[in-house]
Structure 1
Amino acid sequence: MRILVPGGYGLIGSAIVSTLLAAGHEVTGLGRSVAQARLRQPRVRWLQHDLKDLVTAQAWLPLLQDIDAVINAAGVLQDGPGDDVMVTQSLAMVALFEACEQAEVERFVQISAVGADLDAATVFMRSKGMADEALLGSGLAWTILRPGLVLGAQAYGGSALLHALAGLPFVTPLPSAPPIRSVALDDVAAIARAAVEGDLPDRRIYDLVEDRAHSLEDIARHLRSRLGFPPARTLHLPLWVFRLIFRLGDAAGWLGWRPPMRTTSLHQILAGIDGDPRPLAAVTGRSLSPLPEIFNVIDGSARGRWFAHLFLLKPVIIVTLGLFWLASGLIGLSEADSALAVLTSRGFGPGAAGLAVYGGALVDVALGAAMLFRRTMPAAAIGMIGVTAAYLLAGTLFTPDLWLDPLGPFVKTLPAAVLALVALAIRDAR
């Protein structure tokens, strides 16, 4: 079959794409930025489109030529720069359903979420519910799949946050929350493939969850064990602490970042992640993988432990670098007279000294601010490394004695450059 997968490079979408390719299908992936996806999955025909530009059936129709089926795995957690939950998960999807009917697409599989409902408390769940409701009323041969907490070899979003919390030393801070039903990422991909191939009765909604619900503490404990970390005491912090942290994640979202610590995630955790596994089991004759089996596919090697340790250090590194360079530039501007005196005493003319002091301080401020934005962070990190190298080279040529200065104006710049290199190395979100 020729299958279109919107969101084909996300956590769930990439697993579905791999499963479809292994089964011999021709896959077309669609997303807002597909450059890395083309490198990772060169067998896929990738289409680069923003869903906000695909809110009419007429916009979708050219993309559905020669397409037999669609598996929709596109989604965003919260509004932010470039992200509109209602457009992505409702308006664009309703237009896609209409276009699929006009193009006579054979099957449509919708990856929704347990808890999706028109009256849900979050925009994320309401938008999913609106799309599901529209699909129910369409003439397509549809299947709606609603996964619980998705866990797999890859970690992104909520699963990445769980890895990070499990990797903390001594204690695991968790909110008090209702039990959670999980599902293996591989099971989601396998069921999506079965649905699109017609192996499941269509025009039905299936919850993709394990038979037994587990507490958040149990999940974290199993994950710590799988990663090879020693047991840790669960620390139930007051809810206001988590609300504050997740609101900071919301703020990061407006800088272009997509942290899992956002209020939509917290609300879902506090509301519980549940579902009914029986309808799916009734047609497949089996249950989905239980939690111990799910954890068997999680990377328990050094690579997995590195990820767990570095995930929460990443925002710390980025904020530290941003504030360090901002402070450096602002202090340079406020203490410009002292810096000018040092340079003029070493033979610099007033013009050259002023250019070096004021220009350097403004560059520091610009790099510090750019580090805090997701889109400009890589360029800022490269700029920090380059400016540090130029600073040390010029300093060595004109003021070499400062290498031995007890305050270490040269030596102290080296750790900041190394930290910028680390930020570059861990810049990818998935």
Structure 2
Amino acid sequence: MKVLVLGGYGLIGEALIGRLLRDGHHVAGLGRDVLDAERRRPAVRWIAADMSRLLAAQDWLPVVAGMDVVVNAAGALQDGARDHLDAVHRGSVVALVAACEQAGVRRFVQISAIGADLASANPFFSTKAAGDKAVASSSLEWTILRPGLVIAPAAYGGTALLRALAAFPCFVPAVLSRQPIQTVSVTDVAEAVSRAVAGSLPPRLGVDLVESEARSLADVLSAFRAWLGLPQARVVPIPAILGRLAGAGADVLGKLGWRSPLRSSALAALADGVTGNAQSWNDVCDHKLQSLEATLADMPAHVQERWFARLWLAKPVIFACLSLFWLASGIIGLIRQDEAADILVSRGVPANLAHIPVLVGSAADILVGAAVLVRSLARPALLAMIAITLFYLAASTLLAPDLWLAPLGPLVKTIPALCLVLVALAVLDER
């Protein structure tokens, strides 16, 4: 069949596409930025589109034309610079369902979430439930799947945070460490979608996808630490107030375009626990869902997982250090521009021109130091840092080569800062 997967390069969507291709279907994937996906999955027909802008049936009709099945694996955690929950979870789904009915699409598979509820105070869950309602009210042959905490070989969002906390040195920090969690393997989610697409599940079905037994978040983190091959460490509960402060900080970063999983909405969801009805799946299917232990055993960790887990928590520290370093450099240059200009004059620069490079350099430092904090500007800001540093080293070598041997090493010390920029570029990608 011809199957359209929304959010096809996401944590769940990519696994679904792989399974549907193995099942022999013709698969199309939709997402905002599909360039990387096109390189990784050339067998898929990729469609570049922002769901939050497709809010009328006529917007969707060209996309769903000729499709037999639509699978919606798209979603966002919280409103931010790039994400609009109501538009993605409700508005676009309402329009999409109407388009599917008009275009004669046979089946619709909705990936929802445990806890989706119209009455929820959490916008993530209430908007998810509104989208589910639109699907369930349609004339389509629909299936709504509500996975618990999805565990996958890919790592970003909440799964990345789990790995990073599990790899914390000496101890494992955890907010709400006693809250119950039920996980599900992404391969089990893909199996459920495969069956729904094939029509082998009961029609008009809403079902939870969770392992049979709940466990505490502390136990989940301990399992991940063992999976990483790290020595056993004590899980240390972190006061809820610190979690709320971290969530508030992550919310601010969200407005700058960074998609941190440690958002206030995620903490609110964790406070309620991530649990569902495991029996609901067993009642309709003979495929038993894996436990967390079996899921981790099926995707053994190696050195790249340990590198990732350790670097993930270091990433915000790296960017904060770079921002502070460049902002401080620019601000100090402005405050002490006369002294900086005197240095240039002593090296042969005309006095009437010496202030110009100081002001330009200070403004450039402040600009890149601020820009690196904005996700959409981070890459050009990092590249600009490299260019500015290389220009500074080249100019200093021409004007004052003796500074390479100066006791405090003003030129030598720029080399480690340049290396830190290269590390930031290496870890910039979120998915």
| TM-score bracket for this pair, using the shorter chain length | over 0.9
Pair 1:79 & 2:79 matched: yes
**Distance in 2, Cα, partners of 1:39 & 1:316:** 31
Query: What corresponds to 2:406 in structure 1?
Result: 405
1:201 alignment partner AA: P
Unaligned runs of 5+ in 2: none
Contact 1:148–1:208 at 8 Å: present in 2 too?
yes
Q: Deviation string for 1:173-211 (max 9, x for gaps)?
A: 112342110000111111111111101111011100000
Matches within 5 A, 1:5-404: 5-176=5-176, 177-404=178-405
What TM-score, normalized to structure 2?
0.98
What secondary structure does 1:168 align onto?
coil
Quick check: 6-15 or 281-290, which moved more? 281-290
Q: Deviation string for 1:106-133 (max 9, x for gaps)?
A: 1000000010010112100000111111
**Distance in 2, Cα, partners of 1:166 & 1:61:** 45
How many residue pairs match? The answer is: 430
Q: Deviation string for 1:264-293 (max 9, x for gaps)?
A: 111111110011111211221242001110
**1:299 Cα deviation after fit:** 4.4
1:360 alignment partner AA: G
**Distance in 2, Cα, partners of 1:377 & 1:290:** 39
**Distance in 2, Cα, partners of 1:299 & 1:313:** 23
Q: Deviation string for 1:362-400 (max 9, x for gaps)?
A: 111111111111111111111111111111111111111
Contact 1:255–1:373 at 8 Å: present in 2 too?
yes
What secondary structure does 2:28 align onto?
strand
**1:350 Cα deviation after fit:** 2.6
1:400 alignment partner AA: P
Quick check: 79-88 or 401-410, which moved more? 401-410
Quick check: 372-381 or 350-359, which moved more? 350-359
**Distance in 1, Cα, partners of 2:137 & 2:412:** 67
**Distance in 1, Cα, partners of 2:57 & 2:392:** 56
What secondary structure does 2:196 align onto?
helix
1:274 alignment partner AA: T
Contact 2:53–2:87 at 8 Å: present in 1 too?
no
**Distance in 1, Cα, partners of 2:338 & 2:416:** 27
**Distance in 2, Cα, partners of 1:203 & 1:70:** 14
What secondary structure does 1:283 align onto?
coil
Contact 1:109–1:192 at 8 Å: present in 2 too?
yes
**Distance in 2, Cα, partners of 1:375 & 1:394:** 30
**Distance in 1, Cα, partners of 2:126 & 2:76:** 13
Quick check: 198-207 or 345-354, which moved more? 345-354
What secondary structure does 1:285 align onto?
coil
What secondary structure does 1:207 align onto?
strand
1:129 alignment partner AA: A
Q: CA RMSD in A?
A: 1.0
What secondary structure does 1:375 align onto?
helix
**Distance in 2, Cα, partners of 1:43 & 1:378:** 29
**1:235 Cα deviation after fit:** 0.8
CA pair 198-332 structure 1, distance change in 2 beyond 3 A? same
What secondary structure does 1:109 align onto?
strand
**1:217 Cα deviation after fit:** 1.0
**1:351 Cα deviation after fit:** 4.2
Unaligned runs of 5+ in 1: none
Contact 2:66–2:103 at 8 Å: present in 1 too?
no
Contact 1:182–1:210 at 8 Å: present in 2 too?
yes
What secondary structure does 1:350 align onto?
coil
What TM-score, normalized to structure 1?
0.98
Q: Deviation string for 1:379-425 (max 9, x for gaps)?
A: 11111111111111111111111112222211111111100000101
